[in-house]
Structure 1
Amino acid sequence: MLRKLVITRPLAQSLGLAQVLRDGGREVVILPLLDILPLPDEAALQAVLAQLESFALVAFVSPNAIDAAFAQVATWPVSVPLAVMGEGSRRALARHGVTAGPYQITSPLDTQRTDSQTLLQALDLPRLQGQRVLIIRGDGGRELLADAMRDAGIDVQQVAAYRRVAPRLDAALRQRLTDLLAQDCDWIITSSEALQVLMGFVQQVDAETGVGKIQHKNVFVPHRRIAETAVSLGFRYVFLTGSGDEGLLTALQSRP
């Protein structure tokens, strides 16, 4: 019997995957552990996007960064190369009409580890030395990419395009978590931050036995960094999938 799947991605990113899984006969629960919200003030984002052609490269840290930026940009200049972390971001660019061929898009070669470090390996950092690079990210994102580029002599500017907020742990969410902890579910986790939120919620809902329950669930993650976070939090059954929905679906099919 196929186990129920819990998708913890933000709602907008969960709907398409949930439908594909349901069409394949899986029972799915959407339980967003992070909400993606616009910035209270988008003036800084709008100002920097008005100067796109002054940058030798624009790097996006996530599909959310792409969607937030393209909400402010009518047409992306073909002369401005882009860099993304993985296949999910490539698909996000494609939704906005930006694809390889007309546009130069760089992404990690290792689809099993799509993060800042592998993106840095794919970039021609010497060519960018002394030039301006823009990193578009969420509010309060990691500094690894920017720091490494600065160390390589690149003039880096960062701008936030959205913010991530954990949902409020109200009575309804408490009950949903309690019910899911008692069931034989597999969990899809696509960010380390969401994993931390989940553990925090479980500790509040059922600190005595809930943590042990969640640590024994199957957890499917798309990146090694998330897998490492899961292991550090005591999860025993962590399955690393390929990048993007295709990798996730393949992994789920091999472990029904």
Structure 2
Amino acid sequence: MRVLVTRPETQGIELCALIEKMGGYALHYPLIDIHLTSLDSSQLTKLRCADIVIAVSQYAVHGLSKPLSTHPDSMPNHAIYLGVGQKTAHELSKIVQQNVHYPSVSDSEHLLAMPELVGVAGKRVVILRGNGGRELIFDELTKRGAHVHYLQLYQRQYRAVESAAIEQWQQAQIDTMVVTSAEQLDHLVAAMPESQHAWLKQQWLLVPSERIAKQAIAQGFNNITNSQGASNSTLFAALQRLKTGLNNDEQK
């Protein structure tokens, strides 16, 4: 198995290390760069007054570290804290020193089905996130009568896919790609030259949710595995299962 990991920063590096320990080959090429941003006093006031705080990614949690180091009273003790995924919840729990709830499946749909988000009319909800992304949580909680605000804690900047990088992937005989967001998948397809689309869509694609798997099918990918979660441990387990399945196929 020869894997291209497109998730950014330390998460991508850590996943590559796990793959190589498994005996596979891993190449790290982040499709986005993450730049943390600061919060002003009005944003900190919204955070301090929140009844419910939702973190949609680990990057959003990391973005809290700096403002909380200078304004440690900004996290409300009375609030309910939620993370979209287990790892995000655990990272948030370290910062706020409180219990953080998370859904059994790491996506917005399952988060919205949690009992903590039933009966939120009149509640003040703060969503910790980056620029862009899905609006589902905001829109649905607003429909339920909550007063919802975003706090943007990081900026995504998309990387160009250089021809030299594509040549490197092909020379390395990459056969599997890990793509962990819809935005990354869209960017990968759009950034690849048309002449390389046939090669790209022959790759085995590992994605973290059914929604992104359906998106990949619509874009012409045929070999797709849904890991049902975006944590490195979940992705790695899916890669192990995939490797075993491919090896069994080769032996038939």
SS at match of 1:124: helix
Matched pairs, number: 237
Q: Cα–Cα, structure 1 residues 130 and 248, in superposed 2: closer, same or farther, change >3 Å?
A: same
Indicate conservation of the 8 Å contact 2:82/2:89, yes or no. no
SS at match of 1:9: coil
Aligned to 1:92: 91
241-250 or 191-200: bigger deviation: 241-250
Deviation at 1:126, TM superposition (A): 4.2
Query: Residue by residue, what CA displacement relative to the aligned partner does 1:109-131 show, whole Å, maximum 9, x if unpaired?
Result: 3x2xx222211101433442212
Aligned to 2:247: none
Deviation at 1:105, TM superposition (A): 1.8
Indicate conservation of the 8 Å contact 2:130/2:153, yes or no. yes
Deviation at 1:70, TM superposition (A): 2.5
Indicate conservation of the 8 Å contact 1:9/1:190, yes or no. yes
Which of 222, 226, 242 is equivalent to 1:236? 222
Q: Cα–Cα, structure 1 residues 242 and 116, in superposed 2: closer, same or farther, change >3 Å?
A: closer
SS at match of 1:29: strand
Aligned to 2:148: 156
SS at match of 1:71: helix
**5+ long unaligned stretches in structure 1:** none
Aligned to 1:194: 184
Deviation at 1:153, TM superposition (A): 0.8
The whole-number CA distance in structure 2 between the counterparts of 1:106 and 1:191 is 22
Aligned to 1:5: 3
> 2:181 corresponds to which letter in structure 1?
S
> 1:52 corresponds to which letter in structure 2?
L
1:99-138 superposed matches below 5 A: 103-109=98-104, 111=105, 114-138=106-130
Matched, 1:48 2:34: no
1:204-219 superposed matches below 5 A: 207-208=194-195, 210-219=196-205
> 1:239 corresponds to which letter in structure 2?
T
> 1:35 corresponds to which letter in structure 2?
D
The whole-number CA distance in structure 2 between the counterparts of 1:254 and 1:70 is 36
Aligned to 1:147: 139
Give the TM-score normalised by structure 2.
0.86
Aligned to 2:248: none
Aligned to 1:57: 52
The whole-number CA distance in structure 2 between the counterparts of 1:83 and 1:51 is 17
Q: Percent identity?
A: 25
1:21-40 superposed matches below 5 A: 21-39=19-37
> 1:229 corresponds to which letter in structure 2?
Q
> 1:222 corresponds to which letter in structure 2?
P
Deviation at 1:158, TM superposition (A): 1.3
Aligned CA RMSD, in angstroms, stands at 2.0
Q: Cα–Cα, structure 1 residues 78 and 16, in superposed 2: closer, same or farther, change >3 Å?
A: farther
